[in-house]
Structure 1
């Protein structure tokens, strides 16, 4: 079996290659490709027969689904993804399989065996792309684009792009906008977190959810924590130690 791994995280690509060898040492990994751009180039220029593609959904330069817009993918695809299990269920109803990171040998074995059972049928690249599109549609979340707030006797609508951070204080929840004002919200912070695009907002601790344009500086703090200096904010906002790793990944997104 000849496979290609499209994955931008080198440790994840090496782990997958190792698991494939554990599953069957006859599997040949032709290439480990780190980006959408490189994948398009490799698939365009390589004519070697290919049996299976393992493809991370979110690559450094975009979503891997963009590959299908530029080049024919000549083999079935098993996606690897960091989406949560509930989102993953939406994918699994479509004949293409998806592996939740970190991948384990049992899930990998089940996915390959599923692919092997499908090889008895003719491979249809257009049908696969259609299934991918449908699956992505099931995963798309309608994140909030505006919040309605009350200002005295008036109602005001604030665009999500004008909100720098959300915070809780004395059992109430507020948003801080680019106009420098705080606005009272009707929802608790836990509910607001579910409404926000996680690529644009990150919950650094129990009391604060911040956007990319919310802070002036980030400082190393005691016990491997980070201190975030928020704009127009006198509070000491500390990134919880167990969130520091994910917070750095979010910053590098």
Structure 2
């Protein structure tokens, strides 16, 4: 009933909207999202028939933002940590739904502007050239060209340099960090890792629609997500 009510709100707000679902199990969600990448927005409850949706979403390179629907606001923090841009407490009115959609459209408009800026000459864009690090013995600077890769591990961002040293950064998310780096040199290969093209040695097929990327200075390859593998090939050839 809740899914039907939500679908009616969507159709009322945008009669041209194409709706997929509902998907009532996390197993169905994972299977669907691994093959469907042309989505604009996802509405998701927290608890599905076979468990919490958060674990499954954390394993997938999501193609779009999520508006969560929930009975209690207990999960609101986890929602925003999992691509959430809004949450709707059930039962919610059409007016509340509309406010959430306006927030989504504003986000989409800002994202479009950012993409336009990225198409400009890199000389006109202030990409990061260095990071300031806090060490026990004082402050230290690391140049971005000396970074092999950046990875999210245990809630922090780790930058590994060409000397094999790891440095903790203060950035809040990989997404924030991605926007600060020159896309001609850095590429986000999955949900939690960004690599520097200068250190790419080779890559090979790893599994269905994924690649294993070998970087100088790393003992083990990094694996692309299925949705980013084609873009990675194009990036290397650009």
TM-score normalised to structure 2 length: 0.47
Whichever of the two has the greater Rg, that structure is 1
TM-score normalised to structure 1 length: 0.45
